[in-house]
Amino acid sequence: MRMNEINPIPVMIENLHLQALLAHTHPTLLIHPKSDRIVFANQAAANLLGRSIEELLATSVSALHKGQVPSLVVFSEAAFYNGFAWTRGLDMTRPDGTELKLEHEARPLILEGEEYLTVTISDLDARHRRDVDSEADDYLREGIAEWRRAERFFREIERENQLILGAAGEGIYGVNSDGVTTFVNPAAERMLGWTAQALVGREIHSIIHHSHVDGEPYHAEQCPIYNAFREGIVRRVDDEVFWRSDGKPIRVEYTSTPIRDHGLVIGAVIVFRDITERKIAEEKLHAALAEVDRLRERLELENAYLQEEILSTNNHHEIIGQSDAIQGALKQIDLVAPTDANVLITGESGTGKELIARAIHQASARSDRVLVRVNCAAIPHELFESEFFGHVRGAFTGAVRDRVGRFELADGGTLFLDEVGEIPLELQGKLLRVLQDQKFERIGEERTREVNVRLIAATNRDLKEEVRQGRFREDLYFRLNVFPIECRPLRERPDDIPPLASHFLRNICQRLNIAQPTLTKGQVRTLQNYGWPGNARELENVIERAAILAHDGKLHFDLPEHGGRDSRKLPTPDAEPDSKPEKTVLTRGELRQTEYDNIIHALTVTKGKVFGANGAAALLDIKPTTLASRIKKFKIDRRSFGESETIE
């Protein structure tokens, strides 16, 4: 029908031809397709459909043909296009549940500029009964010979019905009002493994429909098949199980239709089909699609991660240096890289811990997979578990979709945990379990996932001291510290400063597209005499600033006086052998005090600002998240410096 949502148009039945048409003794309706309303119905239509005329006028056309709107649309459009249409494909149901098999004939009618359809309805069952009665009447008149012919005719009909039941691909069986089986077709026998003789005359629910798929009892009063003949309503079920004679379940979809005799429900006929293979295929498809989604999400995250790594990669892609400390570190890398042993890299910030981690990964058998880096100091405590292990949608407020964690992202590759000492104590146990078992669960999910991850950790903390203070688990420390590698600070390996400075200068000039100034021996000596509290990262920044400010090919290094090597109490490369400094190294407490004083000075200069180009982190040449972590560690109140920005 043309189901536009408009109010029905009242029709004045004044046309004589229309009056004669609607007064016809056949059930007739006048409908307005655009509004989906019945505007006129004669008494014959009301009697056939089991409703009063008033009820019909208050009922929409689509409501009379529930679930058949597409067929109605095709039927009405055919009538308007051809001037006439008929169909036996539109059924109706009376309010008492009686299903009517009907034939509809429709002709278009134009009234007051509006399109209507006159629909004449014929009851096919009544027509069939009239035909049978007519034939029987003829048989009575024609005598016993005709009766014999009728008997042969009905036997032939019964035989054809049996052939139809036997040829049907769907399983079909019938039950009476007590649930006792009355017939079973061959397809049902094949699917259920029971013979018709074994089922007919027995209560079939207790034989094939007694339990749910999980084995829980399926009581007869809950059975849709029983409800079909008890309530007189057609029941359709998309997914249940019938139990075969060998005790195995088959997944089925079925329709249970009540059988009526003179208005009384006397049983039901059940038509079912085996959908086991289809359901298995659907489940495999859903699993495959879920796996595709998981792999797509993982690839997207890997791509985003690699893009982030490309943007954040510094200019030195290899370890450069000629000191004994560097050569020793390279030998350790060659030893541990081919194995899957956990590695703990220690050293001050800027000493190249991440470079060593990348070198181990590139020299390992996992180099074709991604190296996933996690800066533990930059993750809010409440998000650590989600960052490491992922979560499912709805696991907590804001979890609008599934998320792959870093462990799952690094599956088959290497996971580098930078600043591992910042991991909250309450999460360290879960991290230990993953390292031991290579298994984890996403937040909000009961499924246990397995991964194959090689772990490299780095820290600028003294983890032994952290263990002693109860801030780091001893068992996790031993699990991480399988193969320790120490990154010595730049002030302890001045021989590495010349090659590093040359390397940085060359790469910086290429990147900035400027002429490369000359690095003199005197300038190298100046660099070697500085203490480099920020290590190689500070050296790179100093050289970049000098390259930008270079004039006439000459470099000038603006180094703080307090950062000289004398302030570190270490000998200079040119010191005489008999010159003895006051101290050879700083104690741990002195180092902490020096770091504390340096942070206080930077915060004073920047008025408490940490982030941004003019923040304390940029002044100290360390990451803002690292500085924020150290401010918390030293319990420094930045509000006293004049800024109130929040440290995440």
pLDDT of residue 89: 84
Shared domain for 319 and 452, answered yes or no, is: yes
Does residue 345 surpass a pLDDT of 90?
Answer: yes
| pLDDT for the residue 200 | 87
Structural domain boundaries, residue 175: 166-274
pLDDT at 415: 92
Residue 307 lies in a domain: no
Q: Evaluate if residue 306 carries a pLDDT over 80.
A: no
Q: Tens digits of per-residue pLDDT, 53-111?
A: 888 888 888 888 888 888 888 888 888 888 898 898 888 888 888 888 888 899 998 88
| Domain assignment of residue 151, yes or no | no
**583 within domain boundaries:** no
User: Using an 8 Å Cβ cutoff, are 615 and 609 in contact?
Assistant: yes
pLDDT digits (tens, 9 = 90+) for 439-465: 888 888 888 888 899 999 999 989 999
Q: What angle do CA 608, 538, 330 make, to 5 degrees?
A: 135
- Residue 283: other Cβ atoms inside 10 A: 10
Percent of the chain with pLDDT over 90: 9
Residue 390 backbone zone (phi > 0: left; psi -120 to 50: alpha; other: beta): left
Q: For position 168, what pLDDT does the model report?
A: 57
Claim to verify: residue 540 and residue 431 sit in the same structural domain: no
Length of the chain: 648
- The CATH number for 123's domain is 3.30.450.20
465 and 562 together in one domain:
no
Same domain, 471 and 531: no
Task: Copy the structure tokens of residue 280.
Answer: 């298995």
pLDDT (tens digit, 9 = 90+) per residue, 586-625? 677 677 778 888 888 888 888 788 887 778 888 888 888 8
Question: Are residues 330 and 444 part of one domain?
Answer: yes
In this structure, the answer to whether residues 496 and 547 fall within a common structural domain is: yes
User: In terms of domains, do 478 and 496 share one?
Assistant: no
Last residue of a domain, one of 484, 512, 536: 484
**Coil, strand, or helix at residue 340?**
coil
CA 227-232-236 angle, 5° bins: 60
CATH number (domain holding residue 551) = 1.10.8.60
Q: What is the pLDDT of residues 157-199, one digit of tens each?
A: 555 555 555 555 688 888 888 888 888 888 888 888 888 888 8
Tokens linked to 127 = 């027509």
**Residue 609: predicted pLDDT:** 82
pLDDT tens digits for range 23-50 = 567 888 888 988 889 988 888 888 888 8
DSSP secondary structure string for all residues of 195-256: -HHHHTTSBSHHHHSSB-TTS-B--GGG-HHHHHHHHT--EEEEEEEEE-TTS-EEEEEEEE
Within 13 Å and on the Cβ side, how many CA atoms surround 508? 20
Note whether 537 and 451 are same-domain residues. no
* Cα angle, residue 200 at apex, residues 198 and 202 outer, rounded to 5°: 85
The answer to whether residues 322 and 415 belong to one domain is yes
Band (pLDDT 50/70/90 cuts) for residue 144 is low
Q: What is the pTM of this model?
A: 0.44
Task: Please give the C-alpha separations between residue 331 and each of 326, 327, 458, in angstroms, as whole numbers.
Answer: 9, 6, 18
Distances from the Cα of 36 to the Cαs of 50, 54, 412, in angstroms? Answer: 20, 16, 63
Q: How confident is the model at residue 388 (pLDDT cuts 50, 70, 90)?
A: confident
Residue 448's DSSP bridge partners are 441
What distance in Å separates the CA atoms of residue 211 and residue 223, rounded to the nearest whole number?
10
Average pLDDT over residues 108-122: 87
Phi, psi of 615 (to 5 degrees): -85, 170
pLDDT at 142: 60
- 70 and 30 within one domain: yes
pLDDT at 571: 42
How many domains does the chain contain in total?
A: 5
Q: Is residue 292 part of a domain?
A: no
Domain boundary, last residue among 99, 127, 155: 127
pLDDT confidence band for 646 (50 / 70 / 90): very low
Tell me, yes or no, whether 352 and 480 share the same domain.
Answer: yes
Assess whether 479 and 390 both reside in one domain: yes
